[in-house]
Amino acid sequence: MAAVPGNRVACAGAPAVRRQGGATRFEFAVCVVVFGSLAGVLSCYLLRYRAEAELAGVRYHVAGMRTALAGKAMAAQLAGDTAAVQALVGSNPVKLLRSTPPGYRGEMDRRNDKEIPAGSWFFDRKQRTLVYLFSGNTTFSDMRYARWSFRVESLCLPTNNAKPPGTPGKLSVALHQVDG
């Protein structure tokens, strides 16, 4: 036997075979399958987190609109201006905000939901509703929302039983969800 550089021993007459340190095709295929599976699971959870974030964002903006509407109604009630409170009914609540929510497309007379991109707000003048179109991803509770609609409606709070009959109730307004 002859000594081969690198402390390998070769048989007489046979060439020395050295295996290179890389991975075989099988090992590479196994890695691709494992990483592909992990990427699939990760993308599924990523879409669910995205849907939850979208839902939380819509709720956040609606809460801001409700707060602005309540402030405007209270200011009108304190001034004794019931006409101003009544004028808020059916109005666009986005106009009460300092800045419009991201994706707000404005007021529209005629609408086709397919023409408006997902993740957008718009005010339907004909139905007097504020609409949000969801992206269609599934949340962690396996809910898939398509759209939510909101309308500013009047509330007539009941009178106190101690008041004489015929006393008008207190007029107020609120932003109600009309579907979803």
Confidence of residue 136 (pLDDT cuts 50, 70, 90): confident
Going from N- to C-terminal start, the domains of the chain cover 63-138+146-150
* pLDDT of amino acid 94: 94
The secondary structure of the chain in percent helix, strand, coil, rounded to multiples of 5, reads 35, 25, 40
Confidence of residue 145 (pLDDT cuts 50, 70, 90): confident
For the cut 80, the answer to whether the pLDDT of residue 95 exceeds it is: yes
* pLDDT of amino acid 26: 92
**Pairing verdict, β 147-157 and 170-179:** antiparallel
**By percentage, how much of the chain surpasses pLDDT 70?**
78
For the chain, the residue count is 180
For the cut 90, the answer to whether the pLDDT of residue 160 exceeds it is: no
Mean pLDDT of the chain: 83
For the cut 90, the answer to whether the pLDDT of residue 12 exceeds it is: no
Name the 3-class secondary structure at 163.
coil
Confidence of residue 142 (pLDDT cuts 50, 70, 90): confident
d(CA 180, CA 170): 29
* pLDDT of amino acid 92: 94
* pLDDT of amino acid 17: 65
The residue type found at 81 is D
Confidence of residue 144 (pLDDT cuts 50, 70, 90): confident
* pLDDT of amino acid 33: 94
- The arithmetic mean of pLDDT across residues 20-27, rounded, is 82
